[in-house]
Amino acid sequence: MERTQFFSQTAGRTIDVPRHASARFGIGDVVRHRMFDFRGVIFDIDPVFANSEEWYQSIPEHIRPDREQPYYHLLAENDESSYVAYVSQQNLLPDADGGPVEHPNVEELFESFDNGGYKMRRSLTH
C-alpha cells in the first residue's frame, strides 16, 4: 500500500499514513459517540491517529481503538458541558436526533445548519 507523511502539530511528530484513507464522515456532519453519551459536529479529520502518544496510552487498553483509521475533531457536547473531542471512526455514529449542536464555538467555524449538518464558513475553506 502506498503511504505518505505529514507533520502533526498535536502529536509533535511526523505521521505515516496510507495515501488513500477513506473517511465515513465529513466536516460539518453531526455525529454521536458509540459508547459515551455525547454528540458533536466534525470540524477536522486526521486520516489516521495523529494525537500524542500519552493521549493514546491514556485510553484503557480494552477499549483502545486502532490507530490506522480516520480520527475526527469534534465540537462536542453532553448534558453538562461543551468541549473539543478527538474520536476514532469506529466510535462514531450518525446522529439520529438531527438537530443543531449547541457548542459555543459552532458559529466561529460554521455558517449555517441545514438538513442535519453544518456548512463551514467560506473564509475557512481552501
Q: Backbone phi, then psi, for 112, in 5-degree steps?
A: -150, 160
pTM of the model: 0.84
pLDDT of residue 33: 97
Question: How far, in Å, CA of 19 to CA of 101, rounded?
Answer: 32
- 109: part of which helix (H) or strand (E)? helix 106-109
- 111: part of which helix (H) or strand (E)? strand 110-114
How do the pLDDT tens digits run along the chain, 126 residues long? Answer: 676 766 766 666 676 666 666 889 999 999 999 999 999 999 999 989 999 999 999 999 999 999 989 999 999 999 999 999 999 999 999 998 879 999 999 999 999 999 889 999 988 766
pLDDT of residue 117: 93
| Structural domains in the chain (count) | 1
Question: How far, in Å, CA of 15 to CA of 35, rounded?
Answer: 27
Domain CATH number, residue 88:
2.30.30.390
Show the domain range for 82: 3-124
Closest CA relative to residue 46, chosen from 62, 65, 63, 67: 67
